[in-house]
Amino acid sequence: MNPGPRTLRLDGLRKSYRVGEASVEALKGVSLDVCRGEMVALTGPSGSGKSTLLNLCGLIDAPDAGNRELCGTAINGLDETRLTGLRREKVGFIFQGFNLVPVMTVFDNVEYPLMLLGVPPAQRREQVATALQRVGLEALARRLPDALSGGQRQRVAIARALIKSPALVIADEPTANLDSTTARQIVDLLHELAHERNASVVVATHDERMSSHCDRVLHLIDGELQ
C-alpha cells in the first residue's frame, strides 16, 4: 500500500500519572505517524500505555511533553474549544463498551455527530439512512440501544464514528465484548468502511483477528513502542 498524506503525527509523547505519592510514566517518548487510509493496531499487555496513547491520539488527553499534529494542525497550545472542534470534525470514536446514548434511538445516535456539525435535517436523514444500510441496521433505526445485541450496538457505534467521514478513527478494543463470530463481522465492517472512507484508524486491541486486518501492528510495552 502506498502511504497517503499524513493524518496524525506524534513526536516524543510523554505522559505520567500520579498514583498516590508515586509517579508512573505511562508513555516514554512515543513517536508515531499514521497516514491517510492506514489502519494501525496498537497491541500490548494491560498497563502498557495503549489507552493513554489512544487518548492522546484522539485529543481527549494532553501529553506532559511532545508534539502532536492532526491533519497538519499542531495540537499543542490549542484551547478546549478548538480541541473539541477538531474532534467534532476530524475524529471518530469507537469504544469497547459501545457508549451509545441509551435514550436516543439507533437513528438518533448515528445522527448526533451530524447535528453537532450543523448538517441540515434533510441531508442528515439521508446520510444516516445510508450509514445504517451500510452496517445492516436500517430495519432497527427506531430501536433503542438496549433492544440491540452487542454486535448490533457496535455496528451502531461504527456508523456513528464514520458518519461524518472523519480523518481519524480511534477504536478502543472494539471486539472485546463480543463473541467470536460477531467480532469477526465487526472487524470486517470496520476495515471495509474505514478503507472505503479513506479514514485512518488507530485501534487498541488484544484480538489477533483485528490486528491481522491492520496495515501496521505496533507493540507497546512499558510505555514504549517496540
Contact footprint for another protein (CB under 8 A): 55, 58, 60-61, 80-81, 84-85, 87-89, 91-93, 95, 99, 101-104, 108, 112-113, 115-116, 160-161
Q: Pick between residue 5 and residue 97 the one whose CB is nearest to another protein.
A: 97
Coil/strand/helix, residue 110 = helix
* Cell 432497527 belongs to residue: 140
Q: Pick between residue 99 and residue 185 the one whose CB is nearest to another protein.
A: 99
CB of 99 to another protein, least distance (A): 4
Q: Pick between residue 55 and residue 185 the one whose CB is nearest to another protein.
A: 55
CB of 51 to another protein, least distance (A): 8
Adjacency order of strands within the sheet including 224-225:
91-94, 168-172, 200-204, 39-43, 216-221, 224-225
User: 100: Cβ–Cβ under 8 A, 6 or more apart, which residues?
Assistant: 109, 145, 153, 156, 157, 160
CB of 82 to another protein, least distance (A): 11
d(CA 226, CA 224): 6
Q: Pick between residue 35 and residue 135 the one whose CB is nearest to another protein.
A: 135
CB of 75 to another protein, least distance (A): 14
CB of 183 to another protein, least distance (A): 21
Closest C-alpha to 71, from 80, 59, 61: 59
Q: Pick between residue 110 and residue 225 the one whose CB is nearest to another protein.
A: 110
What kind and span of H or E run contains 78? none
The size of the chain, in residues, is 226
User: 80: Cβ–Cβ under 8 A, 6 or more apart, which residues?
Assistant: none
Measured CA to CA in angstroms, residue 117 lies from 85, 120, 161, 225 at distances of 9, 9, 13, 35
CB of 202 to another protein, least distance (A): 14
Q: Pick between residue 106 and residue 161 the one whose CB is nearest to another protein.
A: 161
